[in-house]
Amino acid sequence: MLNLYLWTAIIWIIILVIGIAMRKKWLGKNFLRLAYILLILILLEGVCLLALKIKSGYWLFNEKYNLNAELFEPHPYLVGVPKKNAELKVNGITYSNNAEGFRGKEFEKAKSKTRIVAVGGSTTYGTSVNDWETWPAYLDSIMGADYEVLNFGISGHSTVEHIIQSSFILPEYKPDVVLVHCGLNDLRSAYIEDLACDYSDFHAPNLFGALGFCPLNKLPRLAIIRAGVLILQKVKLYPECTYYQTAVRQDSSLMALERALELYERNLTTLSAILNKQGVELVFVPQLLHKDAFEGNKLKWWIPYVEDDQLLGLIDDYNKCMKEVAIKESGAFADEVLDYNWKGADFVDPSHLNADANLRFAEIISHYIKHDRDTIEFANQK
């Protein structure tokens, strides 16, 4: 964006110089007129740019196009889902969605082997790693020819979306085992005043924007255009993005946290009931964070109402809640994930594991699944 401003200034200078040099001729006079018009537009852009900085707190030229819009599309119930047959290569990383609309390689809808489905958010989908470096992809390789692992992770999804997905989409694929890896996208709704039971007051509309679905994401990053759009939105002539319509207030009380944890427990219990009714073996997989990876308010953009020094304690609370539900609902909880000594260097960003760590994560899950299934089968034989 700054390059555009620089080239605009250079072009204006060239036009002005030509106009001055040929000012006595018809062509020179028109060049001067063009230079004056361009100067007015440059000044107007500067005024709008400053006004937007005052209004939003950041410079518009620092706002980047949200690449999530290339991989995901709006959905009436799930906020967003992966686009079918979409592929994006960015910073040397390949993201591919298959013909069924899930991350990774193609698979037949009808199963011919033991089918494991991984449900979760971006840590399952595999943000910041290649298709073959997500933990479900590694798990598929590790489990062997008798198993297949499908990655049903969708960036940003919380237990609310997992419930919908498990109710209407999973039955179509008849999984034998479902791994539910969640927590962080529910935790982001902690400390919100009067949190809605379906997260519709904050999480859903905020996720709509985070996935790049706002109409503004498709427009050039010019302050004149943005200011014009804001004016048109005021008079209802241009659609407002729901991302900007969240009007929640922070509530740092214990009561607000208890409300969030209560909803999380309720959602996990509902999720467990849905999957148990389908005859699926359910394994809850806890969420990971490491202080060295997120310190410095690196997760504030996604979890705005929780301070850095609260994050580890809260993710522990959410994981404990998950374990309690697993015990209560006869599910399984992958303790071994938490037992491993993870390092800050295992994270590629504040919340996502790098490729090597995803491999280790998959190895831990594979040991757990094999042991858990052997235990179940041995108990049934007895």
Read out DSSP for 226-293? Answer: HHHHHHHHHTTSSPPPGGGG----B--SHHHHHHHHHHHHHHHHHHHHHHHHTT-EEEEE-----HHH
On whether residue 109 sits in a domain, the answer given is yes
Q: Are residues 195 and 301 in the same domain?
A: yes
pLDDT confidence of residue 376: 38
Q: Would you say 134 and 151 are in contact if contact means Cβ atoms under 8 Å apart?
A: yes
Q: Are residues 345 and 217 in the same domain?
A: no
Q: Are residues 105 and 44 in the same domain?
A: no
Q: Are residues 240 and 256 in the same domain?
A: no
On whether residue 77 sits in a domain, the answer given is yes
Rounded to whole angstroms, the Cα distance separating 256 from 220 reads 40
Residue with tokens 């005052």: 54
Q: Are residues 239 and 299 in the same domain?
A: no
Q: Are residues 98 and 184 in the same domain?
A: yes
Q: Which of 192, 218, 245 is the last residue of a domain?
A: 245
Q: Are residues 180 and 322 in the same domain?
A: yes
CATH number for position 321: 3.40.50.1110
pTM: 0.88
Task: Pull the structure tokens for residue 54.
Answer: 């005052």
| Residue 275 burial by Cβ neighbours in a 10 Å radius (0-12, 13-18, 19+) | buried
Q: Are residues 127 and 101 in the same domain?
A: yes
Q: Are residues 89 and 166 in the same domain?
A: yes
Q: Would you say 62 and 226 are in contact if contact means Cβ atoms under 8 Å apart?
A: no
Counted domains in the chain? 3
On whether residue 310 sits in a domain, the answer given is yes
On whether residue 139 sits in a domain, the answer given is yes
- Residue 117, CA distances (Å) to 172, 176, 184, 280, 307 in order: 12, 8, 19, 10, 33
Q: Are residues 34 and 144 in the same domain?
A: no
On whether residue 274 sits in a domain, the answer given is yes
Residues pairing with 120 in the sheet = 181
Domain that holds residue 216: 204-245
On whether residue 273 sits in a domain, the answer given is yes
Q: Which of 32, 62, 92 is the last residue of a domain?
A: 62
Q: Which of 185, 215, 245 is the last residue of a domain?
A: 245
pLDDT confidence of residue 89: 97
pLDDT confidence of residue 381: 34
pLDDT by 10s per residue, the chain, length 382: 678 899 999 999 999 999 999 999 999 999 999 999 999 999 999 999 999 999 888 899 888 899 999 999 999 999 999 999 999 999 999 999 999 999 999 999 999 999 999 999 999 999 999 999 999 999 999 999 999 999 999 999 999 999 999 999 999 999 999 999 999 999 999 999 999 999 999 999 999 999 999 988 989 989 999 999 989 988 988 888 866 666 789 999 999 999 999 999 999 999 999 999 999 999 999 999 999 999 999 999 999 999 999 999 999 999 999 999 999 998 899 999 999 999 999 999 999 999 999 999 999 999 888 775 554 343 333 3
Q: Are residues 172 and 303 in the same domain?
A: yes
On whether residue 67 sits in a domain, the answer given is no
Q: Are residues 38 and 106 in the same domain?
A: no
Task: Pull the structure tokens for residue 193.
Answer: 């005043």
On whether residue 292 sits in a domain, the answer given is yes
